[in-house]
């Protein structure tokens, strides 16, 4: 039995680690694990988004487009990074995207 199948069967995901599983499954090309993790995430999204591991998922451009984040979520993300939180949604998106570009460079 593959590790991917074992993880899916054992349901070792928690609200604290599911974001890590999504990123891992994508990076390692584990479609069953990714599908299971995304389904878990969607069932518990409000709680998951409050967890520490969700920060890495939110920072991953592949999963969360900043345009789809609410203004409240944008402000929380900017506050975590100690960035300016004032302005329109478009201005907040630009601030966050600029910070992400700087982190990647």
Tell me the whole-structure pTM to 2 decimals: 0.53
Nearest CA among 59, 66, 72, 74 for reference residue 22: 59
H-type helices in 2-104, by residue range?
3-10, 18-27, 31-43, 45-48, 54-59, 71-80, 89-104
Around Cβ 2, how many Cβ atoms within 10 Å? 10
How many residues comprise the chain? 105
Q: Is the pLDDT of residue 10 over 60?
A: yes
Residue 18 dihedral angles phi and psi, to the nearest 5°: -65, -35
The predicted pLDDT at position 5 comes to 66
Question: Any idea where the domains of the chain sit in the sequence?
Answer: 1-51, 65-105
> Tens digit of pLDDT for each residue in 35-87?
888 888 888 888 888 887 787 777 775 555 555 678 888 898 899 999 999 98
């Amino acid at each position: 039995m593959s590790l991917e199948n074992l993880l899916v069967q054992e349901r070792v995901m928690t609200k604290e680690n599911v974001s890590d599983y999504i990123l891992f499954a994508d990076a390692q090309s584990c479609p069953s694990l990714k599908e299971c993790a995304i389904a878990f995430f969607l069932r518990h999204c409000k709680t998951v988004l409050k967890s520490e591991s969700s920060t890495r998922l939110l920072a991953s451009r592949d999963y969360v487009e900043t345009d789809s984040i609410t203004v409240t979520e944008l402000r929380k993300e900017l506050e975590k990074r100690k960035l300016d939180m004032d302005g329109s949604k478009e201005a907040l998106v630009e601030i966050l995207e600029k910070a992400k570009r700087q982190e990647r460079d």
